[in-house]
Amino acid sequence: MRMVQKPSSVVLASLKPSTYTNRTPRAGTLPAHRLAGVSKPDAPYSSRRAPRCGLVGRTFSPFTIVLLVILGGVVATAAQEDERATVEPTLARRAATLILARCAVCHTTDLIVQQRLPEDRWTATVEKMVHWGADLTKDEAAVLLQYLTARYHPGAPDHLPSIENELAMTEPLRGQTTATDGPLTGLAARGAGLYAHNCQACHGEGAVGGVGPKLARNTILKNDGVFWETVLHGRGPMPAWGSVLSHQDIADIHAWLATR
C-alpha cells in the first residue's frame, strides 16, 4: 500500500534550499554568523542606524530644557544690549544738548545718569516729563528716548560719563566748526518761534533772563563772533547748539533778539 504524502510535506519539498538559509531567526535564537564563528555581515540599509550629529536624537530632562532656554535668552539679551549701546556721535550730541536744555532746567543731570531702566520705563518717564511741561517735540522725544534706552539700560556699566562730559567728547557736525559759512539774513518773525522752543526755558520769556542770563539788549548781540561761537559750541553751563540748530536758525534767533 502506497503512503499518501501530507500536503505540508509536498509544499516543503518544493521550496528551494535558499529559502531556509535566508529566513530571519526567531527571537531568542542565536544568529547563524555567531554559530559559524565569523564576523557579523553587513546589515541591510533599511536596518542600519542613521548617524547622529550633535544634539539630534538625544533625550533631555525638563531641567536641562529649561536651562537651555534660559541660556539662549541670556545670549540674545546680551546681543541686543550690545546693539543698543551703539549710539551715533551725532545722536549722542543732540540728545545730550536736549537733556541740558530741557531736563536740567528742573533737575540735575545726575538724576538721569544714575538710572538703569528698560525701554518701557524710559518711555513712560519721557512721556511723563512731556506731560509735566518739558518742551519736547515728538522727534526730539524720540531722539531722547533712543539715547536714554541705549546708554542707561539695566545692563549698562555702573559708572558712565556725565552728560556734560558726553557732550564734550562728541565732535560737532562738520561744516559747523566756524561761525558762518557766508552772510545770512536773519528773519525775526521766524526767530521768535525758534527762541521760544529752544532758548526760552533758560533765558526766559521775552529774553528777560531766567536760569540763563538776560539776552534782550545784551552786548553779546553786537559781537557776532562771540555770539555765534557761544551758540555753536557752548560756554560755561550753556550747551553747544551746533548739532540742533542750523546756521539759518541761529541767524533768525539773533535777528529776533536784536528787536528786543
Q: Which three cell numbers stand for residue 259?
A: 528787536
- Assess whether pLDDT exceeds 90 at residue 249: yes
Name 91's Cβ contacts closer than 8 Å, sequence gap at least 6. Answer: 143, 146, 147
CA dihedral 35, 39, 43, 47 (to 10 degrees): 70
Task: Please give the residue that has the higher pLDDT: either 219 or 243.
Answer: 219
Domain boundaries, the chain: 82-169, 188-257
Point out which residues pair with 235 in neighbouring strands. 238
pLDDT for 79 equals: 42
Q: What is the distance of C-alpha 56 from the center of its chain? A: 33
CA distance 173 to 97: 13
pLDDT of 32 over the 50 cut: yes
For residue range 57-92, list pLDDT tens digits in order.
566 676 666 666 666 554 444 444 444 456 788 888
Q: Cα(176)–Cα(89) distance, rounded to whole angstroms? A: 15
Task: Give me the pLDDT at residue 172, please.
Answer: 52
In the chain, the amino acid numbered 116 is R
pLDDT confidence of 235, banded at 50, 70, 90? Answer: confident
Give pLDDT, residue 76: 41
Of residues 125, 159, 169, 162, the one with CA closest to residue 145: 125
Q: What pLDDT is recorded for position 56? A: 54
- Give SS3 for 67: helix
Q: Which fold has domain 188-257?
A: Cytochrome Bc1 Complex; Chain D, domain 2 (1.10.760)
> Is the pLDDT assigned to residue 13 strictly greater than 90?
no
Q: What is the pLDDT of residues 166-189, one digit of tens each?
A: 777 765 544 444 444 556 889 999
* Least trusted range by pLDDT, from 7-16, 47-56, 217-226: 7-16
Kindly compute the dihedral angle of the four CA atoms of residues 83, 88, 93, 96, in this order, to the nearest 10 degrees.
-10
Supply the pTM of this predicted model.
Answer: 0.48
What mean pLDDT is predicted for residues 142-162? 92
Average pLDDT over all residues of the chain: 74
- Quote the Cα angle for 222-226-232, to 5°: 125
Q: Which residues pair with 238 in a beta bridge?
A: 235
Burial 180-202 (b: 16+ CB within 10 A, else e): eeeeeebebebbbebbeebbbbb
* pLDDT value, residue 93: 81
Whether pLDDT at 21 is above 90: no
